[in-house]
Amino acid sequence: MTYDKFGVLIGFANESGKLYNVGSEDPIFYNDVSLQGKGKNRFFKGVGGRMLHATDFSADFAMQSELNKKAGGVDVDKQYKKTEALSCSINVEFLITDNEVSAGADGFSGVSGFGDPYLFLRDDIVSGNATGRNYFPIYAGDQVFNKCYLQNFSVDIKPFRPVRCRASFKSFDPPNSGVKSDLKGLPVFQISGSANYNMSPESFVYGHTCELSGVWDELTNTDSISQITFSRTYGRKEVYCLGSPEPRESLVTNVENQLSIKATGLKQMLSDDGLKIQSGLAIILKNGNGTRIETDPLANGTKYFLDEGISMKSGAYVVNQSFSNKAGGTVESSITLREGII
């Protein structure tokens, strides 16, 4: 086997923050994959048999502190004192594919029959995001980030380009406490001597291979749409309790979808009260082979379409419109819809 260095693993969501075995209620512990942090071992197993094809990953650690003042000046021995738990923000940019990409070294093994790595994009299926209530373990750079809550995600669709997704998490149990560890890439299975099957172009979702469903033609000309961006944001409030530096939970205060459309026309002009759509809008994600991307989170034969998590239901509002024209160019229009979930 040979290995490429790319990919990010995101695990199943559950209450304990540990991964659950497929089809059972028993947590999975793997002694061969452990990272020392906070005085305890961190165990993680590659989930989904597929990992995210990440094009960009970043983790930002920020000490929450204030200047430690004493009478006469600053305490020279401890100039800053902790005020809250360490803040750890995670950002990952990735592509969507149906490739069976498996982690295959350093204790990770390819597992066929698992679900997929996109569960955090779905609020309505088992091991998914549960409208922001669940959290996930994330493995990247040879580091395990536990108790990661999704803050927001976006899906950007343009013709003849791979569909590009971005997601932001906040980890309340990151690797820290001064643990020394090298940052590494994540090994991925490749068959020795073969072409790079994991990067087969036809397996990725492109803007021009996606399909539109719903009342798009009530908003603009569907054959003139040049870009669609869908995003979901989770408003949160952390609940802290005595005796623990980590929050007991992250309460969801509001969830809002937003859909932005760039095209060359408007079908209706915006009124004072906005425009309410009477039926839903959906984007059907298909790869270059014409295959609609499915999820199988528990590998029990129950399939779900990934794109059902990135749609706008009837009752969403058009809240912003604009159009412009530059000399020698075409009319460009922009339409923004919003939908309140909770």
Average pLDDT over residues 164-179: 83
In whole numbers, what is the pLDDT of the chain averaged over residues? 75
pLDDT band, very low/low/confident/very high, at 271 (cuts 50, 70, 90): confident
Highest mean predicted confidence (pLDDT) among 87-91, 248-252, 267-271: 87-91
Q: How confident is the model at residue 333 (pLDDT cuts 50, 70, 90)?
A: very high
Say yes or no to pLDDT of 111 above 90: no
Higher pLDDT, 206 or 106: 206
Q: Return the structure tokens found at 245.
A: 């530096």
The pLDDT of residue 292 is above 80: yes
39 pLDDT higher than 80: no
**What are the structural domain ranges in the chain?**
2-340
Give CA torsion, residues 17, 21, 25, 26, to 10 deg.
Answer: -80
* 72 or 268, greater pLDDT: 268
| Higher pLDDT among residues 194 and 71, named by residue | 71
Residue with tokens 């997704």: 165
**Whole-number percent of the chain with pLDDT over 70:** 70
When pLDDT is averaged across residues 321-327 and rounded to a whole number, the result is: 87
Look at residues 120, 124, 50 and name the one whose alpha carbon lies nearest to residue 92. Answer: 120
pLDDT band at 326 (very low <50, low <70, confident <90, very high): confident
Instruction: Report the percent of the chain where pLDDT is more than 90.
Output: 28
Which pLDDT band, with edges at 50, 70 and 90, does 299 fall under?
A: low
CA separation (Å) from 306 to 142, 279, 294, 331?
Answer: 28, 20, 6, 33
| One-letter amino acid for residue 252 of the chain | V
pLDDT bin (cut points 50, 70, 90) of residue 191 is very low
The confidence score (pLDDT) of residue 157 equals 97
pLDDT attached to residue 17: 42
Confidence (pLDDT) at 198: 55
Higher pLDDT, 238 or 1: 238
Average pLDDT over residues 17-21: 43
Question: pLDDT band for position 151 (50/70/90)?
Answer: very high
Q: Please indicate whether residue 172 or residue 242 has the higher confidence score (pLDDT).
A: 172
How far lies 85's CA from each of 153, 240, 321, in Å? 24, 10, 41
* Token reading at 42: 């961190």
CA–CA distance, 322 with 211 (Å, rounded to integer): 24
Residue 100 CA to residue 201 CA, distance in Å, equals: 14
- For residue 69, name the pLDDT band (cuts at 50, 70, 90): confident
Q: Would you give the DSSP letter of residue 151?
A: E
What pTM value is reported for the model? 0.80
Confidence at residue 18, expressed as pLDDT on a 0 to 100 scale: 45
